[in-house]
Amino acid sequence: MIVKKDVTIYDIAKSANVSPATVSRVLTSNPLVKESTRQMVLDKMRESGFTPNESARSLTKKQTNLIGFILPDISNPFFSQVFIEFERLALEKGFTVLLRNSMDNSEIEAIHLREFSERRVECIIFMGGRINKAKPEKKELEEMSTVMKRVPIIMVNGKMKGMNGYNVRTDEVGGIEAAIEYLLALGHRKIAYLGEKKGVTATDIKIATYKKTLKKNQISIVPKWQIYSDFNIEGGRKATRTLLESDQLPTAIMGMNDLVIYGVLKELRMQNIPIRTFSYVGFDDIFLSDIVYPSLTTVNHNYQILSMEMMNLFEMIKKGKEIKRVK
């Protein structure tokens, strides 16, 4: 296969009567070039439609300006908000984000990790999947530490057991407390909590917080009102069906994220149970919260702060490396 030859700095050099080095200098905004030759070179570039080749550049500079980002599912509004905000920050700093959906599938995660390594990303942001497993598989741990030898991995809202890397998390405990106190203020004393999943790291502490906060307010705990489920709409529906089987019903329902609450609403509608039977609180501040009827009160996870913390941590890590490696 014969490929049309790219315009290179050599071509530009020739047509501008300078050396390739000089062309490269204007490319890198090196101030040493005389303004007139600089303009000349720039003109030739425009004429010929020259675009620098990022692969070549990365190869010599040993730096790709790439950040890898693995998350379960970008169609989940919480993730998309976080991602967009992070992409915006990255753009400001001159970085390009590589997004990959894992669908919480360990094998897909592995594929993405490998690809990120080969593309020499300078950092990996990891959300969901294996980093939330209380008991990750040996293979998963090995993969992670292998990759981490090359490139820092920032785990968001998760911590793999037996793996110490970088972490960023939202204040989940604080969020749960805030949600419960909000409901108490509304006069609720019967509060259900749907949608954590056993075997996921943060689960235990969140459920513990739920119970502790209730106790602190002299409210007795009804075990049947704390129901595990998947993090999605289907999970919310299933949990609702379980909840409805209990002899006594709560007056308020907390969902582990908004999707779970949507599931609740959907199930209630399908069973012709009035939505107003309960009050609802979700945990992600996603744009839908505004839409569903009745409006959800959600505790603001604040993806902006989250994204910013991820970026800050990345820059700290990078700076640390640079300092360590100064000649």
Partner DNA sequence: TTGTAAGCGTTATCAT
Partner DNA sequence: ATGATAACGCTTACAA
Q: Which part of the chain contacts DNA (CB under 7 A), choosing from 13-21, 193-201, 232-240, 317-325? A: 13-21
Q: State in angstroms the smallest separation of the CB of 293 from its own copies.
A: 5
Nearer to its own copies, 161 or 321 (CB): 321
19 binds DNA (CB under 7 A): yes
Q: Which of 127, 70, 148, 178 is nearest to 306 (CA)?
A: 127
Please say whether the dihedral angle defined by the alpha carbons of residues 304, 286, 101 and 52, taken in this order, is positive or negative: negative
> d(Cα 214, Cα 302) in Å, to the nearest integer?
24
64 binds DNA (CB under 7 A): no
3-state secondary structure 64-92: CCEEEEEECCCCCHHHHHHHHHHHHHHHH
Q: Which two tokens stand for residue 168?
A: 């960023």
Is the preceding omega at residue 294 within 30 degrees of 0, hence cis?
yes
> d(Cα 281, Cα 65) in Å, to the nearest integer?
40
Q: Which of 174, 181, 208, 278 is nearest to 236 (CA)?
A: 278
50 binds DNA (CB under 7 A): yes
Q: State in angstroms the smallest separation of the CB of 77 from its own copies.
A: 6
Nearer to DNA, 52 or 165 (CB): 52
316 binds its own copies (CB under 8 A): no
116 binds DNA (CB under 7 A): no
Beta strands in the chain (DSSP E): 66-71, 96-101, 123-127, 153-156, 166-168, 191-196, 226-228, 252-255, 279-282, 297-298
Contact 152, 166 (CB under 8 A): yes
Q: Which part of the chain contacts DNA (CB under 7 A), choosing from 45-53, 80-88, 173-181, 247-255? A: 45-53
Q: Which two tokens stand for residue 324?
A: 């360590």
Q: State in angstroms the smallest separation of the CB of 315 from DNA.
A: 20
Nearer to DNA, 22 or 157 (CB): 22
Among 36, 62, 187, 276, binds its own copies (CB under 8 A): 62
Among 139, 150, 216, 241, binds its own copies (CB under 8 A): 150
10 binds DNA (CB under 7 A): yes
25 binds DNA (CB under 7 A): yes
Q: State in angstroms the smallest separation of the CB of 88 from its own copies.
A: 8
**268 half-sphere exposure, CB direction, 13 A CA radius:** 19
Binding site for DNA (CB under 7 A): 5-6, 8-10, 17-22, 24-25, 27-28, 32-34, 36-38, 50-53, 56-57, 59-62
Residues lying near its own copies in the complex (CB under 8 A): 1-4, 6, 49, 51-56, 58-59, 62, 64, 73-75, 77, 80-81, 83-84, 87, 91, 96, 98-101, 111, 114-115, 117-120, 146, 149-150, 233, 262, 265-266, 269, 275, 287-288, 290-293, 322, 325-327
